[in-house]
């Protein structure tokens, strides 16, 4: 039996997403092996993040100011909103430096099996946002390309088109730099269906 305080640390680490018993044990040993100063830095970073971060009241992305920097940045294109499932998706799209519009984080995707319906997502606040800011002309739906993400995209498309806004979806296809022979059949079929003229 491990000492009680070590067992407690393992239990807390195992609660984290993607961490199983083996990973929890490895991380716990690492945290105890590093200097007290280093582990204090981790504790302090966690406390600071908890104290300072919240969710933007406009787009629901993670932020230290409310509204967030993207929602208040005058250089961003106010005509364009990208709808994503979760806050990390904003960071992913920002890394591309291609998208200069604003965001809306749904907080998940429709999943009736887990009891998640439109009322459990920030769909209502998206519709309100469009009503309050009629300058928005295009909504890019960037939900994940799986059954739930696709259903959420279709649902939003139905709701948004009623408001006369242009609705687009991220394209599906081949990864850049990949060879055709390594593409799986479904990705290749979707690439063919979504081919464009050059």
Partner 1 sequence: MEIRSLTAGSFRNLSPHPFEFHPRLNLIVGDNGQGKTNLLEALALSFGLSSFRTSDNATLLASGSNEATVISRYALAETDAPSFHVEPEGVAGCAIGPKSRRTYLCGNRVAQLTLRRAIPAVFITASDRDRLAGPPGERRKAIDRIAFALDPTHARHLVDYERARAAKSALLARQGFDPVELEVYERAMCVSGAEVLVRRRSAVLELARELRAQAERLEFPYPDLVLRLESDADPEGDALENLREIFARRGHEERAARRCLFGPHRNDVRVLSGSTPLTARASSGEVRLLLLAWTLAEIAIVARHRGVRPLFAFDDFDAEWDGTVLARFARALPEGLQLFLTSARASWVRGIFSTDGVILEVEKGSLLGRQPMSGPADQVCGPRLVA
Query: Which residues would be at the binding site for partner 1 (CB under 8 A)?
Result: 110-113, 115, 117-118, 147-148, 150-152, 154-155, 158-159, 184-186, 189
Residue 79 vs 169, nearer CB to partner 1:
169
Residue 76 vs 190, nearer CB to partner 1:
190
Residue 146 vs 168, nearer CB to partner 1:
146
88 in Cβ contact with 142 (< 8 Å) = no
Smallest distance from partner 1 to CB 156, Å: 9
Query: In Å, how far from its chain's centre is CA 172?
Result: 18
Helices (H), 77-172: 87-96, 123-132, 147-161
Smallest distance from partner 1 to CB 30, Å: 23
Q: Which of 188, 21, 59, 77 is nearest to 10 (CA)?
A: 21
Residue 80 vs 110, nearer CB to partner 1:
110
172 in Cβ contact with 194 (< 8 Å) = yes
């Amino acid at each position: 039996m491990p000492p009680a305080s070590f067992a407690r640390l393992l239990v807390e680490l195992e609660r984290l997403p993607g961490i199983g018993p083996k990973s929890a044990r490895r991380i716990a040993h690492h945290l105890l092996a590093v200097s007290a100063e280093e582990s204090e830095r981790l504790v302090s970073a966690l406390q600071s993040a908890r104290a300072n971060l919240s969710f933007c009241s406009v787009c629901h992305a993670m932020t230290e100011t409310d509204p967030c920097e993207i929602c208040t940045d005058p250089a961003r294109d106010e005509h364009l909103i990208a709808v994503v499932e979760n806050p990390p998706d904003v960071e992913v799209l920002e890394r591309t430096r291609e998208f200069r519009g604003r965001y809306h984080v749904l907080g998940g995707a429709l999943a009736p099996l887990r009891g998640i319906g439109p009322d459990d997502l920030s769909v209502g606040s998206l519709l309100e946002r469009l009503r309050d800011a009629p300058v928005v002309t295009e909504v890019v739906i960037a939900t994940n390309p799986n059954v739930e993400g696709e259903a959420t995209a279709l649902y939003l498309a139905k709701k948004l088109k009623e408001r006369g806004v242009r609705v687009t979806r991220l394209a599906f296809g081949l990864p850049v730099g990949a060879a055709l022979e390594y593409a799986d059949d479904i990705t290749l079929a979707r690439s063919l269906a979504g081919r464009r003229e050059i």
